[in-house]
């Protein structure tokens, strides 16, 4: 049974927006006016507002050969919410704008928006506006996220202190290896279209690249335990790169211990299939959306009690530089490309 393709030109822009947004139910009291007017109206009732935006381009940030549209919609939202959480704020609203070519029918857009709404429901966020336009080539996605934070409880990258503990959430390196598997299977498929992809054993690493999650739970933990990190950011460009941002912005150095970096067993096994070092994947892989943050030593016991957080090092004086101490006990400078066993 073939499903008749509905052309977007038949609906027109307003018809398309009405179709994609007709079932929205607002979840946040701060969302006063949502989709359907000239602009949204938001009132954060005395809290401070956090705003962030991301642009995702087909062929640069995602490949539709192996990225399901529903996953893409979900991930487009999550990567923005992660930036809000990285400020120690709670995301409340998003605005989604897309540029689409005539390659896409209504069915494809429905799938993409299913992913957007799934993320909104999972994180308690309202979609309150956006725009649709024609793109000559490729799929363009722009997401803006707003969040709220109690006055002066936001956390920047530039406020770490000497002696602070350096911490990360979750485990690292998996998305990079997931991407290697997807790229490998794409290459095989392009060379031999009849060959079915073999990814059954790698659900963990592939799930981490196609459907990342933002660390809402860590921000809720900070609130419950009355912990205010001294500096924080999310890991989108690799752990080493983000640590260097915190060091530079805070005017500090650091010591990072290789054996403290959290790497899942599934990631280690998958890395060895490519004969690459799991530590290198964790340091320079990126697209993690885990949080890297610093806390005062007085919070050590609270942090150590959370099995989703690893203490991986500590902050030092700027003149001491940023270093990683390997499992073998040697010391190397941290570089933005990640650190390499083979150098």
Query: Do 144 and 174 fall within a single domain?
Result: no
Query: Do 316 and 207 fall within a single domain?
Result: yes
More confident residue, 4 or 183: 183
- Bridge partners (DSSP) of residue 169 are 309
The lowest-confidence range among 10-19, 190-199, 235-244 is: 10-19
Dig out the tokens for 63 from the structure.
């490949």
Cβ pair 48, 145 in contact under 8 A: no
Query: Do 188 and 45 fall within a single domain?
Result: no
Query: Do 170 and 145 fall within a single domain?
Result: no
- Does the pLDDT at position 342 exceed 50? no
Q: Is residue 341 part of a domain?
A: no
Residue-wise pLDDT for 64-111, tens only, equals 999 999 999 999 999 999 999 999 999 999 999 999 988 888 889 999
Q: Is residue 154 part of a domain?
A: no
What percent of the chain stands above pLDDT 90? 70
Query: Do 208 and 141 fall within a single domain?
Result: no
d(CA 257, CA 311): 9
Asked which of 121, 149, 177 is the last residue of a domain, the reply is 149
Residue at token pair 């799991």:
278
pLDDT band at 42 (very low <50, low <70, confident <90, very high): confident
Q: Is residue 175 part of a domain?
A: yes
What is the tally of structural domains in the chain? 2
Residue 293 is predicted with a pLDDT of: 98
Residue-wise pLDDT for 296-332, tens only, equals 999 999 999 999 999 999 999 999 999 999 999 999 9
Residue 37 is predicted with a pLDDT of: 62
Dig out the tokens for 237 from the structure.
């460009």
Residue-wise pLDDT for 114-136, tens only, equals 999 999 999 999 999 888 888 98
How distant, in Å, are the alpha carbons of 9, 99, 133, 205, 209 from that of 102? 9, 10, 11, 33, 27
Q: Is residue 329 part of a domain?
A: yes
Residue-wise pLDDT for 201-229, tens only, equals 789 999 999 999 999 999 999 999 999 99
d(CA 137, CA 201): 35
Residue 24 is predicted with a pLDDT of: 76
Tell me, what CATH number does 174's domain have? 3.90.650.10
Query: Do 87 and 217 fall within a single domain?
Result: no
Q: Is residue 49 part of a domain?
A: yes
Q: Is residue 156 part of a domain?
A: no
Q: Is residue 176 part of a domain?
A: yes
Query: Do 118 and 251 fall within a single domain?
Result: no
- Does the pLDDT at position 9 exceed 70? no
Q: At what angle do helices 216-225 and 69-85 cross, to 10 degrees?
A: 30
- Bridge partners (DSSP) of residue 231 are 294
Residue-wise pLDDT for 53-64, tens only, equals 999 999 989 999
d(CA 112, CA 71): 7
Residue 267 is predicted with a pLDDT of: 95
The lowest-confidence range among 18-32, 170-184, 257-271 is: 18-32
Tell me, what CATH number does 26's domain have? 3.30.1330.10
Query: Do 107 and 235 fall within a single domain?
Result: no
Asked which of 101, 120, 149 is the last residue of a domain, the reply is 149
Residue at token pair 């050590």:
300
Strand order across the beta sheet in which 126-134 lies: 48-57, 140-149, 90-100, 126-134
Residue 14 is predicted with a pLDDT of: 64
- Does the pLDDT at position 1 exceed 60? no
Query: Do 172 and 144 fall within a single domain?
Result: no
DSSP codes of every residue in 194-254: TSPP--GGGHHHHHHHHS----HHHHHHHHHHT---SEEEE-SS-HHHHHHHHHHHHTEEE
- Does the pLDDT at position 340 exceed 90? no
pLDDT band at 28 (very low <50, low <70, confident <90, very high): confident
Query: Do 194 and 142 fall within a single domain?
Result: no
Asked which of 149, 176, 197 is the last residue of a domain, the reply is 149
Residue-wise pLDDT for 128-172, tens only, equals 988 888 898 899 999 999 999 998 899 999 999 999 999 999 999
Look over the chain and give the mean of its residue pLDDT values, rounded to a whole number: 89
What percent of the chain stands above pLDDT 70? 88
Best CA proximity match to 104, nearest among 148, 63, 137: 137
Q: Is residue 158 part of a domain?
A: no
- Bridge partners (DSSP) of residue 55 are 142
- Domain holding 209, by residue range, is 165-333
The lowest-confidence range among 24-28, 132-136, 240-244, 296-300 is: 24-28
Query: Do 122 and 249 fall within a single domain?
Result: no
pTM for the model stands at: 0.89
Query: Do 181 and 319 fall within a single domain?
Result: yes
Residue 258 is predicted with a pLDDT of: 96
């Amino acid at each position: 049974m073939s499903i008749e393709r509905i052309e977007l030109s038949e609906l027109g822009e307003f018809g398309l927006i009405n179709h994609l947004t007709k079932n929205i139910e607002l979840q946040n009291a701060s969302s006063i006016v949502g989709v359907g007017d000239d602009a949204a109206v938001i009132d954060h009732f005395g809290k401070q507002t956090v705003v962030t935006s991301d642009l995702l381009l087909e062929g640069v940030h995602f490949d539709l050969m192996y990225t399901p549209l529903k996953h893409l919609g979900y991930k487009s939202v999550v990567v923005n919410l992660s930036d809000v959480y990285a400020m120690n704020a709670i995301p409340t609203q998003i605005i989604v704008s897309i540029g689409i070519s005539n390659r896409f029918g209504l069915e494809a857009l429905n799938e993409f928006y299913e992913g957007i709404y799934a993320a909104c429901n999972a994180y308690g966020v309202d979609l309150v506006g956006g725009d649709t336009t024609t793109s000559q080539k490729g799929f363009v996605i722009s997401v803006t996220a707003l969040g709220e934070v109690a006055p002066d409880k936001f956390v920047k990258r530039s406020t770490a202190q000497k002696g602070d503990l350096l911490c990360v959430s979750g485990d690292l390196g998996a998305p990079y290896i997931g991407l290697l598997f997807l790229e490998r299977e794409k290459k095989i498929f392009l060379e031999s279209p009849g060959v079915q992809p073999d990814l059954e054993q790698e659900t963990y690493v592939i799930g981490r690249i196609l459907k990342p999650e933002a660390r809402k739970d860590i921000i809720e933990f900070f609130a419950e335990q009355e912990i205010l990190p001294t500096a924080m950011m999310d890991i989108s460009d690799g752990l080493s790169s983000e640590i260097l941002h915190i060091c530079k912005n805070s005017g500090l150095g650091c010591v990072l211990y290789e054996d403290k970096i959290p790497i899942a067993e599934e990631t280690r096994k998958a890395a060895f299939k490519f004969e690459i070092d799991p530590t290198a994947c964790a340091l320079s892989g990126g697209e993690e959306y885990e949080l890297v943050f610093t806390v005062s030593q007085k919070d050590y016991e609270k942090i150590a009690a959370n099995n989703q957080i690893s203490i991986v090092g500590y902050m030092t004086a700027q003149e001491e530089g940023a270093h990683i101490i390997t499992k073998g006990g040697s010391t190397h400078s941290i570089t933005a490309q990640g650190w390499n066993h083979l150098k």
